[in-house]
Structure 1
Amino acid sequence: MRLLRLIGCGLGLGLVGCHSAYVDATLVNGTDKPLSLVELDYPSASFGTQTLAPGGTFHYRFKVLGSGALKLIYTDTKEKEIDVKGPELHEGDEGSLTVTVGAAGTSWDEKLKNRK
């Protein structure tokens, strides 16, 4: 009986105490031209892809360590590097982030909360 209680407590603690905050990010090319050297800088790191086809998406999941602004960097079809400053992230933020590059500019759709 005692063993069953210990196992029950262990399972309960495992379900409650093991949550890691992360951001599920999606980069979207909403233009009719490919984007090259696409990079999203976030506090303490960055991620990206070599090419993002027209209408294409790229998914990445990351943990926010520290605080700071997001920055999207990509190269357009004229081989011009474009830098777009985004919203601030803070350590402990979690949720989803969609960054869409469109004909009218770049939009940032963030559905984040902070667990700290």
Structure 2
Amino acid sequence: MRRIAAASFVSAVFLTGCHSHYIQTTITNHSGADINVVQVEYPGATFGTQRIANGNSFHYRFKLLGTGDLKLTWTDASYQDHTLKGPHLNEGQEGTLVIEFPSQSQVTFQPGLKP
């Protein structure tokens, strides 16, 4: 009887699975030149890349470990540093975040997040 109960419990765990909340981020450069030293600060950590060539994208998946604003920093082709405040993020959110560079000094954020 115990074996049947244990097998049922294990089966239930595998069927329902565990769900981890994460945000899939894509940073795309349509600026006409390379974007350098791109860094994204979010509640609990940071990520980034050294370079995103024009027409290319960088993908990263992260989990929020707190609540706060996203901050984006980058260096343009003229070696000018930029900083921009992004969307407010809440711990436990999941979904997608698209960050696009339409020019060397402009950024758009398209969050597709749910609580």
Give the aligned partner of residue 10 of structure 2.
10
TM-score normalised to structure 1 length? 0.89
Question: How far apart are the structure 1 equivalents of 2:14 and 2:90?
Answer: 26
How many residue pairs get aligned? The number is 114
Question: How far apart are the structure 2 equivalents of 1:85 and 1:112?
Answer: 17
Deviation at 1:4, TM superposition (A): 4.1
Question: How far apart are the structure 2 equivalents of 1:98 and 1:70?
Answer: 13
Give the aligned partner of residue 112 of structure 1.
113
Q: CA RMSD in A?
A: 1.7
Question: How far apart are the structure 2 equivalents of 1:7 and 1:30?
Answer: 53
Deviation at 1:13, TM superposition (A): 2.4
Give the aligned partner of residue 97 of structure 2.
97
Q: Mean Cα displacement is larger for which, 69-78 or 104-113? A: 104-113
Q: Is the partner of 2:20 in helix, strand or coil?
A: coil
User: AA paired with 2:13?
Assistant: L
Q: Mean Cα displacement is larger for which, 28-37 or 104-113? A: 104-113
Give the aligned partner of residue 82 of structure 1.
82
1:22-37 paired onto structure 2 within 5 Å: 22-37=22-37
The runs of 5 or more residues in structure 2 that have no matched partner are none
Is 2:63 the counterpart of 1:63?
yes
Moved over 2 A (4+): 1-6, 13-17
User: AA paired with 2:59?
Assistant: H
User: AA paired with 1:87?
Assistant: P
TM-score normalised to structure 2 length? 0.90
User: AA paired with 1:101?
Assistant: F
Deviation sequence 1:65-115 (CA, Å, 0-9, x none): 11111111100011110111111001101111110011282111111111x
